[in-house]
Amino acid sequence: MILAQSWLEIRLALRNGEQLVLTVVIPALLLVLFGSIRVPALGSGGIDFLVPGVMTVAVLSTAFTGQGIATGFDRRSGVLKRLSASPLSKSGLIVAKTLAVACIEVMQLLLISLIGRLMGWSPSGGIGSAIVLLALGTASFSGLGLLMAGTLRAEATLAVANLLFLLLLAGGGIFVPLTKFPAGVRPLLSLLPTAALSDGLRQSFGTSHQFPLAAAVILLGWALVSIICAAVTFRWE
Protein backbone atom coordinates (compact mmCIF):
# COMPACT_ATOMS: atom_id res chain seq x y z
CA MET A 1 0.00 0.00 0.00
CA ILE A 2 2.74 2.44 1.04
CA LEU A 3 5.00 1.25 -1.77
CA ALA A 4 2.19 1.67 -4.31
CA GLN A 5 1.73 5.26 -3.14
CA SER A 6 5.50 5.90 -3.30
CA TRP A 7 5.76 4.49 -6.78
CA LEU A 8 2.85 6.66 -7.91
CA GLU A 9 4.43 9.79 -6.41
CA ILE A 10 7.71 9.02 -8.21
CA ARG A 11 5.94 8.47 -11.55
CA LEU A 12 3.95 11.67 -11.25
CA ALA A 13 7.04 13.65 -10.25
CA LEU A 14 8.99 12.36 -13.25
CA ARG A 15 6.04 13.12 -15.54
CA ASN A 16 5.86 16.74 -14.38
CA GLY A 17 8.02 18.73 -16.79
CA GLU A 18 8.58 21.76 -14.59
CA GLN A 19 9.55 19.62 -11.64
CA LEU A 20 11.92 17.59 -13.76
CA VAL A 21 13.65 20.78 -14.91
CA LEU A 22 13.92 21.88 -11.31
CA THR A 23 15.21 18.61 -9.89
CA VAL A 24 17.36 17.19 -12.70
CA VAL A 25 18.17 19.75 -15.36
CA ILE A 26 19.01 22.75 -13.14
CA PRO A 27 21.45 20.92 -10.82
CA ALA A 28 23.17 19.18 -13.74
CA LEU A 29 23.36 22.42 -15.69
CA LEU A 30 24.77 24.34 -12.73
CA LEU A 31 27.44 21.70 -12.29
CA VAL A 32 28.50 21.69 -15.94
CA LEU A 33 28.31 25.48 -16.20
CA PHE A 34 30.15 26.45 -13.01
CA GLY A 35 32.54 23.53 -13.47
CA SER A 36 33.69 24.63 -16.89
CA ILE A 37 33.92 28.41 -16.45
CA ARG A 38 35.67 30.35 -13.70
CA VAL A 39 33.27 32.62 -11.84
CA PRO A 40 35.36 34.87 -9.56
CA ALA A 41 32.56 35.25 -6.99
CA LEU A 42 32.48 31.52 -6.43
CA GLY A 43 35.94 31.33 -4.94
CA SER A 44 38.62 28.97 -6.05
CA GLY A 45 37.56 25.67 -4.56
CA GLY A 46 37.03 24.16 -8.00
CA ILE A 47 35.10 20.99 -8.57
CA ASP A 48 35.54 19.75 -4.96
CA PHE A 49 33.76 22.89 -3.81
CA LEU A 50 31.14 22.70 -6.51
CA VAL A 51 29.87 19.10 -6.27
CA PRO A 52 28.70 19.31 -2.61
CA GLY A 53 26.92 22.58 -3.48
CA VAL A 54 25.13 21.00 -6.42
CA MET A 55 24.18 18.02 -4.24
CA THR A 56 22.62 20.48 -1.80
CA VAL A 57 20.70 22.09 -4.66
CA ALA A 58 19.44 18.65 -5.68
CA VAL A 59 18.19 17.83 -2.18
CA LEU A 60 16.71 21.32 -1.80
CA SER A 61 14.88 21.11 -5.13
CA THR A 62 13.37 17.69 -4.45
CA ALA A 63 12.63 17.69 -0.74
CA PHE A 64 11.70 21.35 -0.33
CA THR A 65 10.64 22.99 -3.59
CA GLY A 66 9.30 19.99 -5.50
CA GLN A 67 7.63 18.27 -2.58
CA GLY A 68 6.25 21.52 -1.17
CA ILE A 69 4.68 22.58 -4.45
CA ALA A 70 3.32 19.11 -5.26
CA THR A 71 1.80 18.71 -1.81
CA GLY A 72 0.26 22.19 -1.98
CA PHE A 73 -1.46 21.31 -5.23
CA ASP A 74 -2.46 17.86 -3.93
CA ARG A 75 -4.26 19.61 -1.13
CA ARG A 76 -5.99 22.03 -3.48
CA SER A 77 -7.06 19.35 -5.95
CA GLY A 78 -8.56 17.33 -3.08
CA VAL A 79 -6.13 14.43 -3.49
CA LEU A 80 -5.13 14.61 0.16
CA LYS A 81 -8.80 14.40 1.14
CA ARG A 82 -9.37 11.50 -1.26
CA LEU A 83 -6.37 9.63 0.18
CA SER A 84 -7.38 10.36 3.75
CA ALA A 85 -10.66 8.54 2.99
CA SER A 86 -8.70 5.49 1.84
CA PRO A 87 -7.08 2.83 4.03
CA LEU A 88 -3.75 4.63 3.62
CA SER A 89 -3.14 6.40 6.93
CA LYS A 90 -1.71 9.89 7.23
CA SER A 91 1.56 8.56 8.58
CA GLY A 92 1.56 6.01 5.75
CA LEU A 93 1.25 8.81 3.23
CA ILE A 94 4.15 10.69 4.82
CA VAL A 95 6.32 7.58 4.76
CA ALA A 96 5.37 7.04 1.11
CA LYS A 97 6.24 10.63 0.21
CA THR A 98 9.55 10.37 2.06
CA LEU A 99 10.43 7.16 0.20
CA ALA A 100 9.57 8.82 -3.11
CA VAL A 101 11.75 11.82 -2.28
CA ALA A 102 14.61 9.51 -1.27
CA CYS A 103 14.37 7.56 -4.54
CA ILE A 104 14.44 10.70 -6.67
CA GLU A 105 17.38 12.02 -4.65
CA VAL A 106 19.33 8.82 -5.20
CA MET A 107 18.85 9.25 -8.95
CA GLN A 108 19.89 12.91 -8.75
CA LEU A 109 22.94 12.21 -6.60
CA LEU A 110 24.11 9.38 -8.84
CA LEU A 111 23.82 11.65 -11.87
CA ILE A 112 25.68 14.49 -10.12
CA SER A 113 28.43 12.15 -8.89
CA LEU A 114 28.81 10.78 -12.40
CA ILE A 115 29.07 14.21 -14.02
CA GLY A 116 31.35 15.32 -11.19
CA ARG A 117 33.68 12.35 -11.72
CA LEU A 118 33.81 13.11 -15.43
CA MET A 119 34.84 16.65 -14.53
CA GLY A 120 37.58 15.49 -12.22
CA TRP A 121 35.86 15.31 -8.83
CA SER A 122 37.55 12.75 -6.58
CA PRO A 123 36.28 12.60 -3.01
CA SER A 124 38.62 11.07 -0.47
CA GLY A 125 35.97 8.89 1.16
CA GLY A 126 33.39 10.22 3.59
CA ILE A 127 30.45 8.53 1.88
CA GLY A 128 28.99 7.37 5.20
CA SER A 129 28.92 10.77 6.85
CA ALA A 130 27.69 12.31 3.58
CA ILE A 131 24.70 9.95 3.62
CA VAL A 132 23.91 10.90 7.23
CA LEU A 133 24.05 14.60 6.33
CA LEU A 134 21.96 14.13 3.19
CA ALA A 135 19.32 12.29 5.21
CA LEU A 136 19.24 15.04 7.83
CA GLY A 137 19.11 17.66 5.10
CA THR A 138 16.25 15.84 3.42
CA ALA A 139 14.36 15.73 6.72
CA SER A 140 14.77 19.46 7.34
CA PHE A 141 13.88 20.49 3.79
CA SER A 142 10.89 18.13 3.74
CA GLY A 143 9.70 19.54 7.04
CA LEU A 144 10.00 23.08 5.71
CA GLY A 145 8.33 22.16 2.41
CA LEU A 146 5.40 20.47 4.15
CA LEU A 147 5.12 23.32 6.65
CA MET A 148 4.71 25.66 3.70
CA ALA A 149 2.37 23.36 1.74
CA GLY A 150 0.20 22.68 4.76
CA THR A 151 -0.42 26.28 5.65
CA LEU A 152 -0.24 28.42 2.49
CA ARG A 153 -2.47 28.39 -0.57
CA ALA A 154 -1.11 26.30 -3.45
CA GLU A 155 -0.17 29.35 -5.57
CA ALA A 156 1.50 31.05 -2.61
CA THR A 157 3.45 27.86 -1.95
CA LEU A 158 4.60 27.84 -5.58
CA ALA A 159 5.77 31.44 -5.37
CA VAL A 160 7.43 31.22 -1.96
CA ALA A 161 9.13 27.90 -2.75
CA ASN A 162 10.68 29.22 -5.95
CA LEU A 163 11.70 32.52 -4.33
CA LEU A 164 13.36 30.80 -1.39
CA PHE A 165 15.04 28.37 -3.78
CA LEU A 166 16.67 31.27 -5.65
CA LEU A 167 17.57 33.22 -2.50
CA LEU A 168 19.17 30.17 -0.92
CA LEU A 169 21.00 29.45 -4.16
CA ALA A 170 22.56 32.91 -3.97
CA GLY A 171 23.00 33.45 -0.25
CA GLY A 172 22.65 30.06 1.33
CA GLY A 173 26.30 29.09 1.30
CA ILE A 174 25.80 26.75 -1.63
CA PHE A 175 27.95 28.25 -4.40
CA VAL A 176 29.18 31.49 -2.89
CA PRO A 177 31.50 30.76 0.05
CA LEU A 178 30.34 32.41 3.25
CA THR A 179 33.75 34.12 3.52
CA LYS A 180 32.62 36.36 0.66
CA PHE A 181 29.85 37.82 2.82
CA PRO A 182 30.25 40.65 5.39
CA ALA A 183 31.43 39.37 8.76
CA GLY A 184 28.22 40.62 10.39
CA VAL A 185 25.86 38.27 8.54
CA ARG A 186 28.22 35.31 8.29
CA PRO A 187 27.23 33.60 11.58
CA LEU A 188 23.56 33.91 10.63
CA LEU A 189 24.07 32.55 7.12
CA SER A 190 26.06 29.62 8.47
CA LEU A 191 23.00 28.55 10.43
CA LEU A 192 20.99 28.11 7.23
CA PRO A 193 20.28 24.46 6.43
CA THR A 194 21.71 24.87 2.92
CA ALA A 195 24.98 26.24 4.29
CA ALA A 196 25.18 23.48 6.90
CA LEU A 197 24.52 20.79 4.29
CA SER A 198 26.95 22.04 1.65
CA ASP A 199 29.77 22.81 4.09
CA GLY A 200 29.14 19.57 5.93
CA LEU A 201 29.36 17.63 2.67
CA ARG A 202 32.58 19.45 1.76
CA GLN A 203 34.05 18.44 5.11
CA SER A 204 32.85 14.83 4.66
CA PHE A 205 34.39 14.44 1.24
CA GLY A 206 37.53 16.37 2.27
CA THR A 207 40.84 15.02 3.47
CA SER A 208 40.27 15.57 7.21
CA HIS A 209 37.98 12.50 7.50
CA GLN A 210 36.18 14.14 10.39
CA PHE A 211 32.46 13.84 10.92
CA PRO A 212 30.97 17.32 10.43
CA LEU A 213 29.30 17.45 13.81
CA ALA A 214 28.35 21.13 13.81
CA ALA A 215 26.61 20.82 10.44
CA ALA A 216 24.80 17.70 11.59
CA VAL A 217 23.58 19.43 14.76
CA ILE A 218 22.30 22.45 12.79
CA LEU A 219 20.45 20.20 10.34
CA LEU A 220 18.99 18.08 13.14
CA GLY A 221 17.71 21.27 14.79
CA TRP A 222 16.05 22.41 11.55
CA ALA A 223 14.57 18.96 11.01
CA LEU A 224 13.04 18.74 14.49
CA VAL A 225 11.61 22.25 14.50
CA SER A 226 10.23 22.15 10.95
CA ILE A 227 8.70 18.68 11.22
CA ILE A 228 7.04 19.48 14.55
CA CYS A 229 5.67 22.77 13.19
CA ALA A 230 4.47 21.05 10.02
CA ALA A 231 2.75 18.28 11.98
CA VAL A 232 0.96 20.81 14.20
CA THR A 233 -0.17 23.21 11.49
CA PHE A 234 -0.80 20.91 8.51
CA ARG A 235 -4.29 21.16 7.03
CA TRP A 236 -5.42 18.28 4.82
CA GLU A 237 -8.09 20.19 2.90
Q: Minimal distance in Å, beta carbon 18 to other proteins?
A: 11
Q: Which is nearer to other proteins, 146 or 176 (CB)?
A: 146
- Note whether 135 binds other proteins by CB under 8 A: no
Site string for other proteins, 66-95 (x = CB under 8 A): -------xx--xxx-xxxxxxxxx------
Q: Minimal distance in Å, beta carbon 19 to other proteins?
A: 10
**# chain residues binding other proteins, by CB under 8 A:** 22
CA distance 64 to 138: 8
- Note whether 16 binds other proteins by CB under 8 A: yes
Q: Minimal distance in Å, beta carbon 89 to other proteins?
A: 6
Q: Which is nearer to other proteins, 12 or 94 (CB)?
A: 12
- Note whether 21 binds other proteins by CB under 8 A: no
Binding site residues, other proteins, CB under 8 A:
1, 4-5, 8, 12, 15-16, 73-74, 77-79, 81-89, 237
